[in-house]
């Protein structure tokens, strides 16, 4: 039986991202979505839902106060652009706390927690209707861009920014390499240097302490060398 879901977020783009992710994931059914928390109150009181995707910073009624007001609380996943409410959220026993922009991989990790609580079983972390996984990245204040993971070649650190190199384009976004790498599936991507994360399947050649992807050579950091070569060669067998 599918988990019945509701989304509450005052950003239409954010709602669309979660809608797309739900549509991609087996075991989830979207019942309704609201961009005004006050309009959701009666619905939540009068409908049985299993899983709530809830933003925090919303006008008139914020997400945490809304959650406190619900007599029978559903499983709740917080979706917010702000990290500072994490402690307060977990005190309300939320399933997970997702910071925007939310990657598909991170979404699936949260969903698997909800399935586990409900006693459901997922065959793998990407049990989806469409097996071609993707993420959304925030390329400006109002625009989210879908990037398919099988098109990503490498990710380069630019301090507090990163450059994502894909087969179709390059994107510079405000995020650290460490946090972005954590959102990628670890069986497909690996950190090879303090400045680079690469797609394992896109590696063309390995020579000494470097690899080549799409005619671009990347150094392998000394501390990463053994793990990187083991992953690349083992995955090719």
d(CA 29, CA 51): 10
Report the chain's C-alpha Rg in angstroms: 20
Same domain for 101 and 155, yes or no, is no
Residues of the chain with pLDDT under 50: 122-130
Question: Are 192 and 218 in contact, with CB atoms under 8 Å apart?
Answer: yes
Q: What is the CATH number of the domain that holds 71?
A: 3.40.50.2300
Same domain for 102 and 153, yes or no, is no
Specify the pLDDT at position 126: 40
Other CB atoms within 10 A of residue 40 CB: 22
Question: Are 88 and 95 in contact, with CB atoms under 8 Å apart?
Answer: no
> Domain range holding 69?
3-118
pLDDT tens for each residue of 28-74:
999 999 999 999 999 998 999 999 999 998 988 899 999 999 888 89
Same domain for 89 and 167, yes or no, is no
Same domain for 8 and 112, yes or no, is yes
Specify the pLDDT at position 127: 46
DSSP code at position 150: G
């Amino acid at each position: 039986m599918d988990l019945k879901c509701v989304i509450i977020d005052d950003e239409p783009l954010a709602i669309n991202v979660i809608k797309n992710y739900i549509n991609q994931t087996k075991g989830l059914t979207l019942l309704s979505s609201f961009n005004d928390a006050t309009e959701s109150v009666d619905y939540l009181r009068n409908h049985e839902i299993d899983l709530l995707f809830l933003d925090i910073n919303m006008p008139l009624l914020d997400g945490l106060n809304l959650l406190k007001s619900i007599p029978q609380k559903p499983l709740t996943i917080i979706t917010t652009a702000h990290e500072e409410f994490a402690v307060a959220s977990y005190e309300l026993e939320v399933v997970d706390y997702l910071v925007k922009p939310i990657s598909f991989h991170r979404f699936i990790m949260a969903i698997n927690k909800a399935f586990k609580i409900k006693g459901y079983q997922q065959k793998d972390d990407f049990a989806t209707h469409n097996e071609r996984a993707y993420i959304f990245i925030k390329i400006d204040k109002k625009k989210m861009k879908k990037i398919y993971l099988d098109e990503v070649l490498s990710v380069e650190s630019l301090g507090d920014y990163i450059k994502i190199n894909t087969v179709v384009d390059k994107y510079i976004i405000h995020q650290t390499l460490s946090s972005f790498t954590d959102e990628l599936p670890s069986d497909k991507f690996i950190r090879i240097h303090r400045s680079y994360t690469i797609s394992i399947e896109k590696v063309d050649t390995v020579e000494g302490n470097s690899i080549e992807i799409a005619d671009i050579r990347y150094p392998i950091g000394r501390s990463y060398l053994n793990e990187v070569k083991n992953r690349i060669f083992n995955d090719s067998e």
